[in-house]
Amino acid sequence: MRWNPKAQVPLWADETATVFDSTHIFEYWEEAYPQSPLRPASLGARTQARQFELLADELLFTPVAVLIGATRGRTDVDRTAELLRFAQSLDLFRQQISGRDYIAGAV
């Protein structure tokens, strides 16, 4: 809680900043270490990578939280529904990355 009010991982800390949330950590690394970019060079590919990350955060986070018991007051029916939703989301991701070397862009 001292470094992350959400009491979650991931957390990045160095002499410059303490950052939580994977998206913000990624953005910090992009700016702190521009000599080793993590995102693709083209605007279209960077946008696609950001959208893919957003989908992962929004489609996968809730079902995983429910499945590991990180939420309170959920019933087994809720968990079954979340498991189905998780499986459907994984299928969507598989379709998105099928046949690609990278999620978006190229190195």
Q: What is the pLDDT of residues 85-101, one digit of tens each?
A: 888 888 888 888 888 87
- Please tell me the predicted confidence (pLDDT) of residue 4: 74
Q: Give the pLDDT band (50/70/90) at residue 74.
A: low
The mean pLDDT value for 62-81 works out to 71
Residue 66 has pLDDT above 80, yes or no: no
Report whether 49 contacts 38 (CB < 8 A): no
Percent of the chain with pLDDT strictly greater than 70: 89
What is the residue-averaged pLDDT of the chain?
81
Residue 68 has pLDDT above 80, yes or no: no
Cα dihedral sign for 97, 101, 106, 107?
positive
pTM over 0.75: no
Bridge partners, residue 20, by sequence? 11
3-state secondary structure of 65: helix
Residue in the block written with tokens 């991982």: 9
- Please tell me the predicted confidence (pLDDT) of residue 45: 87
The mean pLDDT value for 51-72 works out to 76
- Please tell me the predicted confidence (pLDDT) of residue 16: 92
